[in-house]
Each structure stands twice: as structure tokens, then as C-alpha cells.
């Protein structure tokens, strides 16, 4: 078994981006800038936003964190998005999900300028992905493709089973793995909560992408010997013996699944780190377009 180490791959991306920013800055260009909107104070969202902001600082990007309390109106949030859309010093905008129930995430995503939509959630970017046109690809599936590429993992002709069909992970992942690209060229099966006999699909998979949000639910007896397993899940489980009072687990029973795999991502230290690296890559792409104009 070999580890798909998100730390190694994400450090490589970050180093490359930091060097590229430095070269452009030495030529007199401004720094790339990512704006992030955070509504409320959900613990997990705070953690994700903090690592995105921290990573920006590490690689020479500016970040602009805009906080609202959980009672903010939808109109006020939309007004902020429109303001950022027209700010020429900001290259990318992310709105941390989930949003409070009284705010439509769909409306907010639609309001983001697709050219600044570095999370790749806007219908224009999703449509471009489906059609194979240039655009921003959602950071988690993009990060997974970058991991496969970094570790030179063969995907062509393989059976890939993706569990979970969300708009931000499973569905874009199915599009990316089925494309005529490298990585790609898989025969993809997209499973969800209505899939009958899920284990019969997993048993035939050369590549398993687990993105269902059910901790440690993908078990060793279903995994084919030599499979590649990508664990997207992140769940906080209460654990009084852990320093923070909780521990992070993935959707895969890592301890028992790992010995059967050719490659596997750990949680934490796998897809999560690469998601942030992919977001930085998207922000850098937006920045390059802006400084060229
Ligand atoms: P989501 O929107 O809740 O979608 C979950 C998907 O899994 C749905 O399509 C659902 O099916 C399917 N599902 C649920 N239970 C199932 C079951 N028993 N069998 C088969 N399919 C099942 O979740 P998400 O946003 O995609 O996130 C999934 C997980 O990844 C979560 O743990 C999340 O925290 C994590 N995540 C991690 C990162 C990262 O950077 N590592 C990024 C994003 C998300 P239906 O469509 O039928 O309901």
C-alpha cells in the first residue's frame, strides 16, 4: 500500500505558486487576492476558512475575510458579493458553505461573477466543465485530479466508482474522471443514497472515491485487492481523549481498508489539503487573467 500524501502534493503546488507570484511581483505586479465570506460561527467552517486564509499568507497571496453574523439578510450578503464582483483588486471570491437556512446558497452562488468564482460552483463554470471548456473546476475534485497526477496513478480504462453525487464533489468528479484526459478515461459509475447493492459496485471498482459523508462506512470486505481509494469524507467525531475534544475521520475505514489498496488517501492529510491547494491554483489562474488585461 502506498499513501497518497496530500501534504507532499499540496506543498509542491504551494511552492510552485509562491515562486510564480514572486517572479510576477518582482516585475511590478500586485499580489493575487482571494476574498472569503463567512456567515455565522460554525466550528468546521471557521477551521476551513482559517486554513484558506493562512495558506494565502504562506504563498504570497492577499486575503480579505469578510464576516457576517448568522442573522445577516440575504440582500445584505448579495450586496457584498456584487461589491466584490466590481473590485478590480480582488481576483477570487468564495462564500463558505453551508449558509444559514434563511439564505439561498443558490442565489448567492449565482450572484458571484463566474470570472471570480474560484470555487467553481457557478452554473457557468459547471457548464464549462460538462462541455470540456475552460473554466474553474470545483476545488475538491480538481484537487483529487492533481493528487492522481502528482503520484502518477494510472486511471485510463479503470472502473471508477464515485459514492456521492453532490454538485461540489461527486458530480464534477464523475465528469473529470470520465474525460478523455490524463488522469481520466475511466469508466465511471456514480452512486448515491438510492443506489441498490452499493457494495456490489464498490467490489468491482479499481478506483473508489468516497464522498458520502458517512464516517468509516466504506469497509475492507467490499474493496477489491489493489484498488485506489480516495477518501473525501470529513466528519468530526466527539472524542474526549483527543486534545480538541473531537477527531476527524473520513468515509473509509482506513485501518482495515489500507492493507488491501495499492494507493489510499489518509484523513486528515489527504484530499482536504489538496482542496486548498486547488483553490489557490484557481485563484492564481484568475489573477493571471486580471493582470494580463
Ligand atoms: P452531500 O452534499 O451531503 O452529499 C452526499 C452524497 O452522498 C449525496 O449524493 C447522497 O446521496 C450520498 N449518500 C449519502 N448517504 C449515502 C449512502 N448510505 N450510500 C450511498 N450514497 C450516499 O455531501 P458533500 O458536500 O458532497 O460532502 C461529502 C463528504 O465530503 C462530507 O463528509 C464532507 O464533509 C466532505 N467534504 C470534504 C471536502 C474536502 O476538502 N476534503 C470538501 C467537500 C466535502 P443523495 O444525493 O441520494 O442524497
Q: What confidence score (pLDDT) does residue 230 get?
A: 98
Q: What is the mean pLDDT of residues 24-37?
A: 98
Q: 272 C-alpha vs ligand 1 centroid, how far in Å?
A: 14
Q: Could you tell me the distance, in angstroms and rounded to a whole number, from the CA of residue 250 to the centre of ligand 1?
A: 11
Rounded CA separation 287/118 (Å)? 10
Q: What is the pLDDT of residue 63?
A: 98
Q: Same structural domain for residues 164 and 66?
A: no
pLDDT of residue 222: 98
Same domain, 97 and 212: no
96 is catalytic: yes
Q: How far is the CA of 93 from the centre of ligand 1 (A)?
A: 23
Q: What is the pLDDT of residue 81?
A: 98
Asked if residue 176 and residue 64 are part of one domain, the reply reads no
pLDDT of 181 higher than 80: yes
pLDDT in tens, 220-262: 999 999 999 999 999 999 999 999 899 999 999 999 999 999 9
Report whether pLDDT(5) > 80.
yes
Report yes or no on 219 lying in a domain: yes
Is 9 a domain residue?
Answer: no
The last residue of one of the domains, among 95, 113, 131, is: 113
| Atom of ligand 1 lying closest to residue 48 CA | 40
Instruction: Please say if 5 is a catalytic residue.
Output: no
Together in a domain, 106 and 143: no
Tell me if 288 is assigned to some domain: no
157 and 34 housed in the same domain: no
Final residue in a domain of this structure, among 78, 113, 148: 113
- The residue out of 113, 131, 166 marking a domain boundary is 113
**Domain limits at 39?**
29-113
Residue 163: inside a domain: yes
161 Cα–ligand 1 center, Å: 14
Q: What is the CATH number of the domain that holds 73?
A: 3.40.50.10860
Number of separate domains in the chain: 2
Has residue 37 got a pLDDT over 90? yes
256 with 176, same domain: the answer is yes
Query: How far is the C-alpha of 138 from the C-alpha of 192, rounded, in Å?
Result: 19
How many angstroms does the Cα of residue 167 sit away from the middle of ligand 1?
10
Both 91 and 146 in one domain: the answer is no
Considering the domain boundaries, does residue 278 fall inside one?
Answer: no
Q: Is residue 125 part of a domain?
A: no
Q: If you average pLDDT over every residue of the chain, what do you get? A: 97
Q: What is the mean pLDDT of residues 20-35?
A: 98
Look at residue 293 and tell me whether its pLDDT is greater than 90.
no
Options 5, 91, 96, 115, the catalytic residue? 96
Asked if residue 81 and residue 44 are part of one domain, the reply reads yes
Same domain, 170 and 262: yes
User: Are 248 and 199 in a shared domain?
Assistant: yes
Q: 60 lies in a domain?
A: yes
Is there a domain that residue 16 lies in?
no
Q: Which residues does ligand 1 sit against, CB inside 6 Å?
A: 140, 163-166, 168-170, 191-195, 198, 211-214, 232-235, 271-272, 275
Ligand 1 atom closest to Cα of residue 192: 21
The catalytic position among 14, 52, 116, 142 is 52
Residue with the smallest CA separation from ligand 1 atom 12 is: 164
Quick one: pLDDT at residue 70?
A: 98
Residues 252 and 150 in one domain: yes
Q: Which ligand 1 atom lies nearest to the CA of residue 170?
A: 26
| Residue 164 shares a structural domain with residue 244 | yes
Indicate which CATH number applies to the domain containing 267: 3.40.50.720
Which residue has a Cα nearest atom 31 of ligand 1?
213
To the question of pTM greater than 0.95 for the whole model, the response is yes
Q: What is the pLDDT of residue 260?
A: 98
For 113-154, how does the pLDDT look when each residue is reduced to its tens digit (9 = 90+)?
999 999 999 999 999 999 999 999 999 999 999 999 999 999
Our answer to whether residue 25 is catalytic in this structure is no
Q: What is the pLDDT of residue 214?
A: 98
Amino acid at each position: 500500500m502506498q499513501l497518497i500524501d496530500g501534504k507532499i502534493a499540496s506543498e509542491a503546488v504551494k511552492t510552485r505558486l509562491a515562486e510564480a507570484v514572486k517572479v510576477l511581483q518582482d516585475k511590478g505586479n500586485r499580489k493575487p487576492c482571494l476574498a472569503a465570506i463567512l456567515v455565522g460561527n460554525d466550528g468546521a467552517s471557521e477551521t476551513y476558512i482559517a486554513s484558506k486564509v493562512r495558506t494565502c499568507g504562506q504563498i504570497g497571496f492577499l486575503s480579505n475575510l469578510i464576516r457576517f453574523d448568522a442573522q445577516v439578510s440575504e440582500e445584505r450578503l448579495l450586496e457584498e458579493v456584487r461589491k466584490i464582483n466590481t473590485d478590480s483588486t480582488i481576483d477570487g471570491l468564495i462564500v463558505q458553505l453551508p449558509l444559514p437556512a434563511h439564505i439561498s446558497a443558490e442565489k448567492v452562488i449565482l450572484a458571484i461573477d463566474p470570472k471570480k468564482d474560484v470555487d467553481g460552483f457557478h452554473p457557468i463554470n459547471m457548464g464549462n466543465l460538462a462541455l470540456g471548456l475552460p473554466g474553474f473546476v470545483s476545488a475538491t475534485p480538481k484537487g483529487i485530479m492533481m493528487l492522481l497526477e502528482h503520484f502518477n496513478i494510472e486511471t485510463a480504462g479503470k472502473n471508477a466508482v464515485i459514492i456521492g453525487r453532490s454538485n461540489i464533489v461527486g458530480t464534477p468528479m464523475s465528469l473529470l474522471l470520465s474525460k478523455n484526459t490524463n488522469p481520466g478515461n475511466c469508466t465511471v459509475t456514480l452512486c448515491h443514497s438510492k443506489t441498490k447493492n452499493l457494495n456490489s459496485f464498490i467490489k468491482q471498482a479499481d478506483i473508489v472515491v468516497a464522498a458520502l459523508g458517512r464516517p468509516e462506512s466504506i469497509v475492507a470486505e467490499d474493496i477489491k485487492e489493489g484498488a485506489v481509494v480516495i477518501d473525501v469524507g470529513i466528519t468530526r467525531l466527539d472524542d474526549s481523549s483527543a486534545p480538541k475534544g473531537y477527531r476527524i475521520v473520513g468515509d473509509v475505514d482506513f485501518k482495515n481498508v489500507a492493507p488491501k489498496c495499492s494507493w489510499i488517501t489518509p484523513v486528515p492529510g489527504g484530499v482536504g489539503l489538496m482542496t486548498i491547494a486547488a483553490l489557490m491554483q484557481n485563484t492564481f489562474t484568475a489573477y493571471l487573467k486580471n493582470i494580463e488585461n
